[in-house]
Amino acid sequence: MQRKLKIVTPWFTAAAAAGLMVSLASAQPPAAAVTPQVLINAAGNGDEWLTYGHDYAETHFSPLNQINNKNVKRLSLAWSVPTEAPQGTVEATPLMHNGVLYGILPWDVMFAVDARTGQTKWRWDPDVPRAHIQGLCCGPVNRGVALYNGRVYAGLLDGRVVALDQETGKLLWSTQDTVPGGDTILTSAVRVVKGKVIVGSSGAEQAVRGYFSAYDAETGKRTWRFYTVPGDPSKPSEHPELEAAAKTWTGEWWKWGGGGTVWDAMAYDPAADLLYIGTGNGGPWNQNIRSPKGGDNLYLASILAVKPDTGRMVWYFQENPGETWDFTATQPFILADLKIDGRDRKVLMHAPKNGYFYVLDRITGEFLSGKPFVRRMTWSKGLDKNGRPIEAAGARYTTNSIKIWPGAAGAHNWQPMSYSPLTKLVYLPGNEASTTYVPTPADQFQFTPGRPSTGVAFGGAGPIPETDIAATQPEVTGRFLVAWDPVQQKERWRHLFEPGAPGGGTLATAGGLVFMGNSAYDAETGEKLWEEPQLGDRPVNWISYMLDGKQYFAILARSSPNNRLFTFTLDGGATMPPVPPPAAAPARGRGAAGPAN
């Protein structure tokens, strides 16, 4: 079926649109292309937000300081527009280039709007089929698009990778990354590295086989693919890294896929020419089913460093050998240069679901340090000298149920953390919660295509593993924001939020600010300096940019179908639209899916 371009005007009247489009066409010069060098230099560009984490290091840091901890109280709405998002969860970070904001909504509807006014430039609906995908984990989400050489790129729920013309929204090419109609979907924000579109797979809850791929940004032709878990041992391995991995699996794992999907974390070091990828949980979750005699199950729950030209692996670090709790390593990375023990180190920082904050040498993969950033952890007593977790007795469910902290939702999930090179602190949005895992006996496990097949049920009140930290820490629940010192491996300050408080990722700025949810905090002290309660629920990830000498902050917030794009500046003067009443509870269908991809 031919996919169609839709240029519509849902956010303003057609008459106003016609006049505006003529005005924009005559007033704006041709867009300067986003080139490889522009992306390499993105960290110093406060005027724009060109890639998911602002820069290849994924710092989510803006070097702008016009709005700062002295004047942020004057921050108010400049404009907001309804996105008319299809029903689903909004998790995307918008991008800004040449005065235009680009984004993606549930069901992969992509849009471009004027960054000064919110007026629509174009909108494109890929008409993703609903029937099969509706049953897959974890909703029709997408975390972001990529910009490169006059094009906008995205991976779609139906497995296509697409390139649109940045100016018009016209579809330029479409490539099928997945097996059509299969359970592998694409939900991650794509990145462009050295002229290649890097795309990760999603769907480990459906027991699929994980991988990530690179496509030529100009043609859409696949240049390489890296499978994160081995396949059927009766067939040749697709690449040599899998031969070593296969020795760490037992049983007939390939019948269930194995998992290891790549649905979020990516970063790139241009100097080292290394692309960093985080891999996901096992599929099924329950290791007793997929690998019944144990084993580390490489490369689940791992950080991989590969060469972007070839996809060949340089090093790996596995955070959870034999992963069995949905402890993914797909949470966002940050690259930084730190002085540790008197030595300058190029590091990768990671705070995954399992509750440890890791610092690795990003050139060699050497484990440097790791400490819990949660206040309650019961599955592990610590990390050994190589960074391997020291698991608590009883933490691995076999035939017994077990209750552990943190749970499957993670101590930290997909919401980005940020890093300020000025304070040298990481601002981490986290969650204190537990999960009780009830294993499905292997002889009763059934794989159901199109539905989560984890090999685990939830609920009850299973025993808690006996760990030293469990005995000394209180039972706490709820979201938090922590300022973390990655050198000292300790918190500088922490905010605990009431149940129901808005979450989202963090943004740090050179103005001494940290944004999260509907608030801004002093980056040094944690003092709340600004709040906008009318943002409503589900604020996602803040960005900042500069236009006409003014600094702006933008964010997607509120649940579909009431989702809006909000933009703030000093003395903005616009009136916040009222928060709509809560939507009616959806009809009861399948149970809650695992909180992963």
Q: Are 224 and 194 in contact (CB under 8 A)?
A: no
Residue 326 annotated among the catalytic residues of the structure: yes
Contact in structure between 464 and 470 (CB atoms under 8 Å): yes
Catalytic member of 108, 183, 264, 326: 326
- Return d(Cα 120, Cα 168) in angstroms, integer: 11
Backbone angles phi, psi at 19, to 5 degrees: -65, -40
Residues 264, 331: Cα–Cα separation, whole Å = 6
Q: Which residue, among 130, 137, 109, has the nearest Cα to 597 in the 3D structure? A: 137
Looking only at the bridges linking them, the beta strands covering 380-383 and 418-420 are unpaired
Contact assessment for residue 250 and residue 293, using Cβ atoms and an 8 Å cutoff: yes
Are the CB atoms for 404 and 347 separated by under 8 Å?
A: no
Residue type, 334: I
The phi, psi pair for 39, rounded to 5°, reads: -70, -40
- In this structure, what token pair is assigned to residue 106? 């549930």
Residue 125 burial (CB count, 10 A): 17
Strands in 211-216's sheet, in edge-to-edge order, are: 191-193, 196-200, 211-216, 222-227
First-last CA distance in the chain: 28
- Torsions phi, psi of 80, nearest 5? -145, 150
Are the beta carbons of 205 and 223 closer than 8 angstroms?
no
What does the alpha-carbon distance between residue 265 and residue 484 come to, in Å, rounded to a whole number? 19
Enumerate residues 6+ apart whose C-beta is below 8 A from 430.
351, 373, 374, 411, 412, 479, 480, 481, 482
Write the DSSP symbol of residue 585: P
Dihedral angle over CA of 320, 412, 359, 258, nearest 10: 30
Catalytic residues: 326
